[in-house]
Structure 1
Amino acid sequence: MDAGDAALLRRAAGTRLLVLDVDGVLTDGRLLYADDGSETKAFHVRDGHGIKLLLAAGIEIAAISGRRSAAVDRRLAELGVRHALTGREDKLAALGELLQQLALGDPKAIACVGDDLPDLEIMEPAGLGIAVADAHPEVLRRADYRCRLPGGQGAVREVCDLLLAARREARR
């Protein structure tokens, strides 16, 4: 589907929560370790700005990741993301807890961005399942929307722009 597709925009307009995987979505998926064992990650500044724009528009954002990382926790806190569920191998259970916490009974009000097979379990119940451009082929095949940009290189901003455009279109 194309971002300009009317049906896609209608589906995206009802999004109240954007759920992001971290490694491969907010980052390029590489794990970088220093000699002392510390981990570093690179985040795209445009993704961060898109997240801030969505939060300002009243759309909640959450990150669900199977790995725990101090760098990720710091970046999410800097951006004002209040829902960081890291170190959670059972992503579906984490999503269920989040929906309960936010009193979101309808998973169709969720857009979820992933890049690899473990993300499918939270992408599929979502109203809008989104794959970054360099996602695993099966994730790309099953996604409702495929980003033009790869993870860690502006894909999240692309999704944020899509959700904001959908909201604007719905208000017309």
Structure 2
Amino acid sequence: MTVSAEVIERARGIRLAVFDVDGVLTDGRLYFAPEGPEMKVFHARDGLGIKLLRRHGIEVAVISGRQSPVVARRMDALGVTHVYQGNDDKLPILRDLLKKLSLAPQACAYVGDDVIDLPPMSVAGLACTVADAHPAVRRAAHWITAAPGGQGSAREVCDLILTAQSALPDEWKPIS
């Protein structure tokens, strides 16, 4: 996959990667059992990408408009401590997180897929989206993954950042 020099330059300075959940870390479909729990499907490659970011010293966060114990459980398993759920107004949460971590917006990558992600994408140094995102979100993104949400798209973003920062072994690099 080919990536523009501008996107690589933006990715070089990333110290925080923020992901939406439904439609980015999952395929966006919601599964409800009658009288039972909510279920979501996460891609294992996305999980490893998140772990690799953390190993490289990049903070990881999720901001989701929905509240779900499944998300809390998955993020706990990945060691992600910045987990914000249940609020459609994501920009104030992002601003507070940047302040808490003493980071400028340019040091943040934000990955979203729908219109409620536009405000945080507008301030992020690297705004990414998934292949099957809402058209307005695709227009606002600096970079669009090849994969749709929940199908390894978050891993593509992780690999982009790690490649730009020379943090992947050559044989792992998916982009040139």
**Length-normalised TM-score, structure 2:** 0.92
Q: Name the aligned partner's letter for residue 31 of structure 2.
A: L
Instruction: Tell me what 2:49 maps to.
Output: 50
Secondary structure of 2:127's partner? strand
C-alpha distance in structure 1 between counterparts of 2:157 and 2:98, whole Å: 20
Q: Which amino acid aligns with 1:43?
A: F
CA distance in 2, matches of 1:78, 1:52: 10
> 2:119 & 2:3 partners in 1: Cα distance?
27
Aligned to 2:95: 96
Name the counterpart of 1:69: 68
Q: Summarize deviations over 1:13-54 as a string: whole Å, max 9, x none.
A: 000000100000000000100011420000000000000000
Q: Secondary structure at the match of 2:111?
A: strand
2: CA distance between counterparts of 1:135 and 1:32?
Answer: 20
Q: Which residues of structure 2 form unaligned runs of 5+?
A: 168-176
2:34 aligned residue: 35
Amino acid corresponding to residue 51 of structure 2 in structure 1: K
How many residue pairs are counted as aligned between the two chains? 167
Distance in 2 between the 1:94 and 1:82 partners?
Answer: 14
Q: Could you say which residue in structure 1 is the equivalent of 2:140? A: 142
Question: Aligned-residue CA RMSD in angstroms?
Answer: 1.2
Share of identical aligned residues, percent?
Answer: 55
C-alpha displacement at 1:5, in angstroms?
Answer: 2.1
Aligned to 1:81: 80
SS of structure 1 residue aligned to 2:165: helix
Please, which runs of 5 or more residues in structure 1 have no aligned partner? Answer: none
SS at 2:162's partner residue? helix
Instruction: Tell me how far 1:108 sits from its aligned partner.
Output: 0.6
